[in-house]
Structure 1
């Protein structure tokens, strides 16, 4: 019998779930007001839905990072907790709305819902342009930063970049572009590659990402490289020609994307975490519509060890 999925958490876009060594799942996402960073934790995935939330950081009223707090992620890097997020400056500074840059917070308490969060400043990529959706991962002892950014010489809104990190809040070296919008399904409404997420499995490094406008056209693609390859060499990476997750019109789950990966309570089943809408009759700009909900489903695998994302509506 087909199990039609229901949202785990309503009105939480860009969801990120991390299972820590303390046995807790930690959850953060964009809140509809885009004005703060909210955390919650629970012993189970289902428990996150009803877990008490804590606002760990609120935007200032004015300044370089005082508008549109987007897509926070919580990571435990080199012995401390970090939240990476994007924020835009006050309009009186840039006189434009979408001028996001990326920032980091740090908390050295064992429980990140307690203790103090320290503002570590901007994560400077060396390219002064719109950027967002940072994630981090460690491979063979090296911490990497992976994000989306606009380049003035490349048509479109954002491309995917990678760089090694000197500290959990500073990159070193030149950013390396891994992907740009080029397929038709990446260029519907907007030319976008954003929201990267990393999964290591079956001897490969997988990077999922999202593309196109944030309405029903939003869809996910996939990059992958051999785990022994040079991750800073674009030639090491392969790219899917077709989306790996897209709108399911049959079951009315629209625009799945901006995902993360976590693991089930059994410690081995990989879970796909993503947001999607349950209707298309959006009034006004889809950005301001709060009804992007968090969904969670098991990730399947094919005979070649490649991930099978299935449909966003079916577990």
Structure 2
């Protein structure tokens, strides 16, 4: 039996998203741009374990290069009617606090993706982590993150996830609904954080990733501070992609994945999902820090369903059975 060991790619590769197309896996992530000015590294694999770098996939809009201080975050790609749509955020303020969601289009999953020249959520000062998802009826939705500056019930001030319907692959309906906002202590991003002209105890849930299982939509999210040990993966559940989403019991900690007590991999999160080459297994693709915090690197682990709930052994750092071929 073949095996693998995390991380499966040695270079910086945060927020990994994997698209499977015609039996080939393409991975996109947050990492430095290329010498040619292109952004968003893209990798290729046939088994989810051995990855080949293909360069950088995104041709940014004019005047939006790294030389002008722009950040490019958390790309995800959807395939529709023979074309490929990359959703990503970009901005040039400190810490990327002016990030805006954009979309770029390509004829091949490796790119080049050409920016479509539009902001998807123009009314928001900050929007990140777009996740395109097609429901079981064929409707496309876009899950993404915005900031909330008022508490509501037990929901905290900070970054949360909303969902809106895609009228076409580059246009939103403009009717976002809340999926999940931060609501637990482990969702804390930073205490006393200066934001929007005030100071807040900032909490974060981000990085939506959907699975449809047993007639329900499972929205997985990453909560906490991306650079710290409290970062982990949990979920909410709904009967329709648009919601409403309910919180499961036990949410006082990350339900699917969190930093292990041994500290071999730190802050696992911002994941996507894919299937094994033979189609029989679900795999989570995520990033995690090494103990020295030198970089966030791409990792994979199998997800199983036990008593109707998702479980994984991850994050793993020892030899594991590889995805089934």
TM-score normalized by structure 2? Answer: 0.81
Unaligned runs of 5+ in 2: 191-201, 321-325
- Structure 1 distance, partners of 2:230, 2:179, is 22
- Counting only pairs closer than 5 Å after superposition, residues 1-315 of structure 1 correspond to structure 2 as 5-10=5-10, 11-20=12-21, 22-32=22-32, 36-48=39-51, 51-59=52-60, 62-63=63-64, 67-89=70-92, 91=93, 97-107=96-106, 109=107, 111-113=108-110, 116-125=112-121, 127-139=123-135, 140-154=137-151, 156-189=157-190, 190-214=202-226, 215-226=228-239, 229=240, 231-234=241-244, 236-239=245-248, 241=251, 242-244=253-255, 245-250=257-262, 252-279=264-291, 281-282=292-293, 291-303=295-307, 305-313=308-316, 315=320
Instruction: Label 1:168 to 1:311 Cα distance change in 2 as closer, same or farther (>3 A).
Output: same
CA RMSD of aligned residues (A): 2.6
Moved over 6 A (4+): none
Question: In the alignment, is the contact (CA less than 8 A) between 1:123 and 1:171 conserved in 2?
Answer: no
Task: Give the total of aligned pairs.
Answer: 290
Unaligned runs of 5+ in 1: 283-289
- Structure 1 distance, partners of 2:133, 2:63, is 32
Which structure carries more strand by proportion? 2
1:28-55 Cα distance to aligned partner (Å, 9 max, x none) = 111145971122223221232xx13122
TM-score normalized by structure 1? Answer: 0.83
- Give the deviation of 1:85 after TM superposition: 0.7
